[in-house]
Structure 1
């Protein structure tokens, strides 16, 4: 019996559902564009912060710290203090 495409697998090629694949790719492309736009927005905010006299490097460090658990931040600060003392700083 010949293998004719039907409505269910008509868009399948080599076991890949073309519509599903296209949807995944298009959604990913949209998100990549959104990420690019957001990165530009963040850059603008950091430029604003710098022009207001803030240290952008420190702002980024604070943002990174705020994402961590307080216990993890405290542990890192304690280790940093220990290392500084060990080096006579």
Structure 2
């Protein structure tokens, strides 16, 4: 029976850790949202900023491939 208590305690600790991390994640998301709002108030476009953040996360070769395909599609549609 003691083994069951240990497993239950361990599970409870895991759950509590996850809950704390989820709360921290929410706090960070709120902070990010505040930064975008501040940037918008200073005349920057948050939508474009999000795109730039996404692009910066990509590996260079992936971004270059995506740019090439986009350019091909633009040319095909006369949007170049």
Q: In which range does the TM-score fall when normalised by the shorter chain?
A: over 0.9
For the aligned residue pairs, the C-alpha RMSD in angstroms reads: 1.1
Distance 1:85 1:31, change over 3 A: same
Q: Which aligned segments of 4 or more residues in structure 1 are displaced greater than 2 angstroms? A: none
Per-residue CA deviation, residues 10-67 of structure 1 (Å, 9 max, x unaligned), is 505xxxx101100110000000000010010001000000001001011001100111
Point out which structure has higher relative CO (alpha carbons under 8 A, 6+ apart). 2
> Are 2:37 and 1:66 equivalent residues in the alignment?
no
Normalised by the size of structure 2, how large is the TM-score? 0.93
Please show how residues 35-50 of structure 1 align to structure 2 within 5 Å: 35-50=25-40
Give the secondary-structure state (helix, strand or coil) at the position aligned to 1:11: helix
Count of residues paired in the alignment: 79
> Are 2:13 and 1:23 equivalent residues in the alignment?
yes
5+ long unaligned stretches in structure 1? none
Determine which structure has more spread, i.e. the larger CA radius of gyration.
1
> Are 2:46 and 1:56 equivalent residues in the alignment?
yes
5+ long unaligned stretches in structure 2? none
